[in-house]
Amino acid sequence: MALQELSRHRCFGGWQVFLQHDSAEIGLPMKLGIYLPPAAEKGKVPALTYLAGLTCTEETFLIKAGAQRLAAELGLILIAPDTSPRGTDFPGQAENWDFGIGAGFYVDATEAPWQAHWRMYSYVTKELPALVAENFPVDTGQRGIFGHSMGGHGALICALKSPGLFRSVSAFAPISNPVNCPWGQKAFTGYLGADKASWAAYDASELMKAQAHPNPILVDQGEADQFLERELHPHALEAAAQISGQQLTLRRHAGYDHGYYFIQSFIEDHLRHHAALLK
């Protein structure tokens, strides 16, 4: 699988690289960012995939979160894909910021016209791991995943549905119960159809009720988050963990909102959480 390098930047002794490739799963070009720590020059290292939220791109986390310094110290590759396919001209794809472009929701769409390209779940769990392992020194038995908001939802469902692929998982302010919030209901109706029975396969709380991930999960949530009550529903995740016995640490932080200042504040805890499980 050929990768086209778009840019490369020296960063904390390693390299921040941005790339593009023709995706077989998506059927369109996809962009991603990857941070290679100094340890990657000496051998295989663990890889941690980050899934971004609504309206974001492959650059957002890598520019805003300040994660590379600690990733260099801990010897972690960071992988950040885009949040949706781009390059289509579907009706309605850019009319709303919470559906269509920049809003893939990490599902495999089944409804027209989205099913042709909106296959972010399979991209993240199949094509992307293989692509990165083929081109970079990844220890394929040591993969983790985390994300923010829509990407927190994506990280949780990918790990819960593929625990053998992702040994560690965490999330910042995830959409924890999308079947019961406006963002999720809008996206799932558009991508998956009106039959709500199919939605549970992409709902972290529903998945966690049925089967716990084998390793502890860390979730951070700001109490001043403007989307907390309407969209995020962390209480549903806590209830699901009690049902399945999932080891879940859900921390609530007074004064913190939904943005990247919140992520910057706790990114070290998340990287150390993954490093401990992956090493």
**Which letter does DSSP use for residue 103 in this model?**
B
| Cα 70 off chain centre by | 19
Position 217 pLDDT exceeds 80: yes
pLDDT band at 1 (very low <50, low <70, confident <90, very high): low
Taking only the tens place, the pLDDT of each residue in 259-268 is 999 999 999 9
Taking only the tens place, the pLDDT of each residue in 5-61 is 999 999 999 999 999 999 999 999 999 999 999 999 999 999 999 999 999 999 999
Close Cβ partners of 197 (under 8 Å, ≥ 6 residues apart)? none
Position 194 pLDDT exceeds 80: yes
Given a contact cutoff of 8 angstroms between Cβ atoms, the answer to whether 262 and 247 are in contact is: no
Checking DSSP bridges between strand 77-81 and strand 4-11, what pairing results, if any? Answer: unpaired
What pTM value is reported for the model? 0.98
pLDDT band at 105 (very low <50, low <70, confident <90, very high): very high
Position 125 pLDDT exceeds 90: yes
Give CA–CA dist 139/177, Å, rounded.
32
Strands (E) in the chain, as ranges, are 4-11, 14-22, 29-36, 45-51, 77-81, 138-148, 168-172, 217-222, 248-253
pLDDT band at 279 (very low <50, low <70, confident <90, very high): confident
Q: How many residues does the chain have?
A: 279
- Domain residue ranges of the chain, discontinuous segments joined by +: 3-278
3-state secondary structure 176-242: CCHHHCHHHHHHHHHHHCCCHHHHHHHCHHHHHHHCCCCCCEEEEEECCCCCHHHHHCHHHHHHHHH
CATH class of 3-278: alpha beta
Give CA–CA dist 73/75, Å, rounded.
6
Average predicted confidence (pLDDT) for the chain:
98
Catalytic residues: 149, 225, 258
pLDDT value for 273: 98
pLDDT value for 52: 98
Taking only the tens place, the pLDDT of each residue in 134-179 is 999 999 999 999 999 999 999 999 999 999 999 999 999 999 999 9
Question: C-alpha angle 38/274/57, rounded to 5°?
Answer: 75
pLDDT value for 250: 98
pLDDT band at 121 (very low <50, low <70, confident <90, very high): very high
